[in-house]
């Protein structure tokens, strides 16, 4: 089966040659500026031409550039029985016959979207009218161009993907040469991709943002009898602007009608992180690893309440954008780690919890770091609601070590950047009084002169002396060949971990 077809089909069983009865009732939907009638018949949406039209389509049935078609249609294939790559054209021709159309003079598209969810969007400028007719779904089959693909050799047919096709009929009430029609198809595709980006729709096959589904199809229909002749459909031309506006809005509205995809639905931590493998189940598993066993429904109730809170969604959106920028090589790993830790600290502070993990600049670890923060917030809330129950402690040994790693990183990078705010962010009041900004400037200057910039650290030992925990690190600096010993001391005050001691043992 061809990969383009797999997203169209719900079931594949033995094909008997029979197709469902579609009925003869034609339900009017719209009359276009060209005079062409749009109507529904059974599970199909038809545009019947009232005069000759030029059509450029990606269809497998009478596709390409055609002057001789009488109609085009979009067909909901959810009830199709046993259609394969080999018999798909025959099936669609039989559908055309059932609809009372000439199979040789019609081109068609198949989808799993319902024709009741079609969207028709028109825009005008002077004598020009552009109309986009769209159905769509992207939740099950969305992909980013360049994602790993499986289909290449005919006959090797991987399992069908869940349907998710965005089908567009773009009607331009003007006469366009063939090359301009091709440019209109490109602009139409750009508009579809822009709609998906503005919805932050994720790929199902990578960690990227979706640029379409794996089975999208498009038809460009123009009016060669129009006195309006246009030769430019790019972004600098008014025609290109109208294509962009109509298609983008039609695609958004079609996705909303078909699957509820909308800005409101996407205002969700889980949906923003889903393309990185973060799900309710993965977070529940991580909670159990960190804090012990808990009833799953109890965990999910707290997680779902947290999921759409503005502070978390905002922080998640910024964090995800850092991950994207790193994948696009617009940010280096050090920049990702530094900014990621800033966001971890900022978001943790808004929820008055300790950030339990440190961003490292490595994708999997950084995704897990944000997941750990979400789990920590859930654990804190469950602990507040159920303080009388025997739950795992909210501040675990792992929490303390991660905090020490993060706080030490902030202090060392603060020295690098002469940033007292970062350096002292986790000090208790006595530490801030003992090491004010004036002394910090002298410390930073001395370290930079004698040791150079901080490069990396490695935890060597952890020692507990109630109420303190002492962490000893071996730290590398640019100008010093030997590792420098750094000690960070933490204690808990008012349910928060704070730095109460910091030493560098060096030949300074």
- pTM over 0.85? The answer is no
* 439, 335: one domain: no
Of 209, 233, 261, the residue at which a domain comes to its end is 261
Give pLDDT, residue 359: 80
260-270 confidence digits (pLDDT tens): 999 999 999 99
The dihedral over CA atoms of 338, 342, 345, 346, expressed in degrees to the nearest 10, equals -170
User: What whole-number distance in Å separates Cα of residue 23 and Cα of residue 234?
Assistant: 41
The reply to whether 403 falls in a domain is: no
- Asked whether residue 99 falls in the same domain as residue 223, the answer is yes
pLDDT for res 10: 33
Residues 203 and 62 in one domain: yes
- Per residue in 219-245, pLDDT (tens digit) is 999 999 999 999 999 999 999 999 999
Lowest mean pLDDT among 54-58, 247-251, 396-400: 396-400
DSSP assignment, residue 74?
A: E
Do 55 and 169 lie in one domain? The reply is yes
The domain boundary residue, chosen from 212, 232, 261: 261
Q: Are residues 48 and 146 in the same domain?
A: yes
pLDDT tier, 164 (very low <50, low <70, confident <90, very high otherwise): very low
Determine, yes or no, domain membership for 19: no
Domain that holds residue 369: 267-394
Phi first, then psi: give them for residue 280, nearest 5 degrees: -60, -40
Among candidate residues 394, 425, 457, the one where a domain is terminated: 394
pLDDT tens-digit series, residues 13-29: 233 344 454 556 899 99
Would you say residue 20 lies in a domain?
no
Residue 15 confidence (pLDDT): 37
Query: CATH number of the domain that 506 lies in?
Result: 3.10.450.50
Same domain for 251 and 281: no
- Beta strands 167-172 and 217-222 are parallel
Please state, in angstroms and rounded to a whole number, the distance separating the CA atoms of residues 234 and 242.
10
Angle between helices 310-327 and 333-350 (to 10 degrees): 180
Whether residue 473 is contained in a domain is answered as yes
56 lies in some domain: yes
Calpha distance 488→504 (Å, rounded): 9
Identify whether residues 124 and 246 lie together within a single domain. yes
Note whether 438 and 499 are same-domain residues.
yes
Which residue did the predictor score with more confidence, 508 or 236? 236
d(CA 259, CA 253): 10
pLDDT digits (tens, 9 = 90+) for 178-200: 999 999 999 999 999 999 999 99
Average pLDDT value over all residues in the chain:
88
Report the number of distinct structural domains present in the chain. Answer: 3
For residues 287 and 215, state if they share a domain.
no
Same domain, 115 and 223: yes
Return all residues near 295 (Cβ < 8 A) that are at least 6 apart.
none
* Rounded Cα distance, 141 and 166, in Å: 10
**Percent of the chain whose pLDDT exceeds 70:** 89
Domain annotation covers residue 402: no
148 and 129 inside one domain:
yes
SS3 for 147? coil
Q: Which residues contact 329 (CB under 8 A, 6 or more apart)?
A: none
> In this predicted model, what pLDDT tens digit does every residue of 115-145 receive, in sequence order?
999 999 999 999 999 999 999 988 888 889 8
On the 0-12 / 13-18 / 19+ scale of CB atoms within 10 A, 229 is exposed
In the structure, what pLDDT confidence band is assigned to residue 506 with cuts at 50, 70 and 90? Answer: low
pLDDT on residue 4: 40
DSSP-derived secondary structure letter, 315:
H
Residue 239, domain member (yes or no): yes
Domain membership flag for residue 196: yes
Structure confidence by residue, pLDDT tens digits, 36-92: 999 999 999 999 999 999 999 999 999 999 999 999 999 998 888 787 777 888 899
What are 502's strand-pairing partners? 488
Q: The domain that contains 145 carries what CATH number?
A: 3.60.70
Q: Are residues 381 and 319 part of one domain?
A: yes
pLDDT at site 17: 43
Give the model confidence (pLDDT) of 442-473 as tens digits.
888 889 888 888 889 999 999 988 888 999 99
């Amino acid at each position: 089966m061809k990969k383009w077809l797999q997203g169209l089909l719900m079931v594949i069983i033995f094909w008997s040659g029979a197709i469902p009865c579609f009925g003869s009732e034609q339900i009017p939907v719209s009359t276009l500026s060209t005079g062409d009638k749009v109507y529904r018949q059974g599970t199909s949406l038809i545009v019947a031409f009232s005069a000759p039209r030029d059509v450029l389509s990606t269809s497998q049935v009478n596709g390409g550039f055609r002057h001789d078609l009488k109609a085009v249609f979009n067909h909901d294939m959810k009830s199709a029985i046993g259609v394969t790559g080999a018999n798909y054209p025959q099936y669609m021709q039989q559908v055309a016959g059932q609809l009372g159309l000439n199979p040789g003079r019609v081109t068609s598209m198949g989808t799993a979207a319902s024709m009741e969810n079609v969207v028709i969007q028109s825009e005008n400028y002077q004598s020009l009218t552009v109309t986009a007719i769209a159905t769509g779904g992207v939740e099950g089959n969305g992909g980013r161009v360049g994602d790993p693909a499986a289909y290449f050799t005919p006959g090797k047919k991987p399992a069908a993907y869940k349907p998710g096709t965005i089908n567009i009929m773009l009607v331009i009430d003007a006469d366009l040469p063939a090359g301009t029609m091709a440019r209109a198809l490109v602009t139409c595709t750009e508009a579809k991709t822009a709609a998906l980006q503005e919805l932050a729709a994720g790929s199902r096959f990578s960690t990227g943002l979706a640029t379409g589904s794996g089975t999208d199809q498009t038809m460009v229909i123009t009016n060669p009898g129009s006195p309006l002749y246009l030769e430019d459909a790019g972004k600098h031309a008014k025609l290109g602007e109208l294509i962009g506006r109509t298609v983008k809005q039609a695609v958004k509205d079609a996705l909303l009608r078909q699957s509820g995809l909308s800005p409101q639905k996407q205002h969700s931590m889980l949906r923003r992180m889903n393309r990185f493998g973060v799900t309710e189940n993965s977070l529940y598993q991580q909670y159990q690893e960190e804090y012990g066993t808990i009833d799953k429904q109890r965990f999910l109730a707290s997680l779902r309440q947290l999921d759409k809170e503005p502070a978390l969604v905002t922080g998640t959106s910024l964090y995800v954008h850092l991950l994207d920028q790193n994948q696009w090589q617009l940010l280096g790993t050090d920049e990702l780690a530094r900014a990621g830790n800033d966001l971890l600290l900022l978001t943790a502070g808004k929820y008055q919890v300790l950030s339990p993990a440190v961003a490292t600049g490595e994708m999997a670890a950084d995704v897990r770091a944000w997941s750990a923060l979400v789990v920590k917030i859930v654990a804190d809330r469950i602990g507040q609601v159920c303080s009388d129950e025997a739950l795992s402690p909210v501040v675990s040994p792992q929490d303390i070590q991660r905090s020490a790693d993060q706080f030490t990183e902030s202090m060392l990078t603060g020295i690098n950047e002469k940033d007292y705010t970062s350096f002292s962010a986790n000090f208790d009041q006595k530490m801030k009084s003992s090491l004010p900004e004036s002394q910090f400037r002298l410390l930073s200057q001395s370290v930079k002169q004698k040791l150079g910039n901080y490069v990396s650290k490695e935890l060597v030992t952890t020692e507990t002396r109630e109420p303190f925990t002492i962490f000893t690190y071996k730290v590398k600096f640019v100008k010093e060949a030997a590792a420098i010993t750094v000690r960070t001391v933490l204690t808990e005050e008012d349910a928060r971990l704070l730095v109460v001691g910091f030493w560098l043992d060096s030949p300074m």
